């Protein structure tokens, strides 16, 4: 199989992984902030309930972003420590995040409980574009991370032979 030699064809895999981790932290933080903002704006409109359903749905909706934050932190630790098993855990959490995001988005859209989609028609379109872009970026990031893992593993094998 063809593994990447550089991230985005111009920077090293290690630098690319660092950028991926920082970008994951930033984008997930922004999405968590936006989701909590929507929760606060809808919660003030629905004060007649003691525990509105939006609180539960919002908690479920930010899980992919929390998994992304966890994967990004693990990736930073993996890059610093060079422990190869941390790369596998990072890839596991990114896969889990992608599966959960797609599953939750489809189910919550079908039952009408997705907080972002329920705002307006344009929020609906923007949300699905976001899901598709997030999945594409996640797949590319996983490819780069795995390529860096392979590069480190091959370096270990070469050092062991010498």
Task: Give me the pLDDT at residue 160, please.
Answer: 64
Q: Which two tokens stand for residue 32?
A: 């968590």
How sure is the predictor about 49, in pLDDT bands with cuts at 50, 70 and 90? very low
Indicate the length of the chain as a whole number: 162
Q: Which helix (H) or strand (E) holds 140?
A: helix 121-161
- The pLDDT tens digits of the residues spanning 73-97 come to 999 999 999 999 999 999 999 999 9
**Residue 117 DSSP class:** T
- The pLDDT tens digits of the residues spanning 104-143 come to 888 888 887 776 776 778 878 888 898 999 899 999 999 9
Give the separation between CA 130 and CA 134, rounded to whole angstroms: 6
**Residue 6 DSSP class:** S
> DSSP letters of 16-60?
HHHHHHHHHHHHHHHHHHHHHHHHHHHHHH-TT-SS-HHHHHHHH
Task: Give me the pLDDT at residue 35, please.
Answer: 79
């Amino acid at each position: 199989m063809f593994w990447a030699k550089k991230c985005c064809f111009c920077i090293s895999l290690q630098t690319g992984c660092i950028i991926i981790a920082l970008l994951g932290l930033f984008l997930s933080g922004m999405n968590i902030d936006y989701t909590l903002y929507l929760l606060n704006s809808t919660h003030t409109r629905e004060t007649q309930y003691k525990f509105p359903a939006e609180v539960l749905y919002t908690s479920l909706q930010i899980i992919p972003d929390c998994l992304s934050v966890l994967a990004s932190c693990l990736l930073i630790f993996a890059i610093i420590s060079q422990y190869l098993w941390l790369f596998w855990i990072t890839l596991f959490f990114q896969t889990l995040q992608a599966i959960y995001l797609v599953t939750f988005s489809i189910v919550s859209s079908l039952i009408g409980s997705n907080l972002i989609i329920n705002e307006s028609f344009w929020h609906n379109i923007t949300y699905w574009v976001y899901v598709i872009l997030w999945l594409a970026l996640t797949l590319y990031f996983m490819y780069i991370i795995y390529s860096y893992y392979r590069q480190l593993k091959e370096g270990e094998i070469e050092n062991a032979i010498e």
